[in-house]
Amino acid sequence: MRTIDVRSEAPGPRTLEPVQEALTEQQAVVAYPTETGYAFGCAPGSSQALQRIRRLRGLGPHHTWTLLVPTLDWVTPYARVPEDLGQRMRTADPGLYTFILPATEEIPRQLRQKERSSIGVRISADPVARGLLEALEAPLVTTSARVSGEEWALEDAVSIAEECAEGVDFLLDAGVVPPNPSTVVDATGEEPVVLRYGAGDPGPFGG
């Protein structure tokens, strides 16, 4: 595991270049900070990286994957966003929510489900996460940095290094980032349904 200290300022393209190359060319897994705590991430089409994250998290075959993007515009190739929901997403603090949306045929086959066609979406304003997305120039598959059997995500670099050394290639160390899980909103039906109450105010989405 290679650690990059990002506590002093948002990392620039040169700092993140080796991470970007590893994600796109070597099916790497990165641990990085977000508004809701540390997360694991990989490129959407990386089968090997997705399997490594599955093992770290203890995820089953029916898990709904989530894409991290910097703006709502990045969502539309991969998910259908109802107009009224899009307006509410823009006015809320999107970094505090995970939205489950109907998937389009553009999502990579590695993220597709047999039983339902949906995809999670998070829009992050975190400077480190956004820097990573800008370097990658593509969405990032994201899930909280929680290891199998644990209730809460790991909150510091030491814990991540101890628990995930074999499963993570890069760690963007932002110091202690206490986990604060996102509010999960299922928008695959006629009306949005709050599946998990978390950091984001559920009020705008019927919670």
Contact residues for 141 (Cβ-Cβ < 8 A; gap 6+): 41, 42, 43, 44, 46, 49, 50, 53, 65, 66, 67, 68, 111
Q: Would you give per-residue pLDDT tens digits along the chain (207 residues)? A: 999 999 867 788 888 999 999 999 999 999 999 999 999 999 998 999 999 999 999 988 888 999 999 988 898 899 998 888 888 888 887 789 999 999 998 888 888 776 668 999 999 889 999 999 999 999 999 999 999 888 889 999 999 999 998 899 999 999 999 999 999 999 998 889 999 999 999 998 876
Tokens standing for residue 9:
């300022």
Q: Which CA distances in Å does 105 have to 99, 115, 165? A: 18, 15, 35
Q: What is the pLDDT of residue 63?
A: 87
Strands 118-123 and 97-102: antiparallel
- This prediction's pTM: 0.92
CATH 3.40.50.300 for domain 2-205, yes or no, is no
Q: What is the pLDDT of residue 114?
A: 64
Q: Where are the domains of the chain?
A: 2-205
Contact 177, 156 (CB under 8 A): yes
**H/E segment holding residue 21:** helix 13-25
Strands 97-102 and 183-186: parallel
Total residue length of the chain: 207
Q: Residue 173 and residue 170: Cα distance in Å, rounded? A: 9
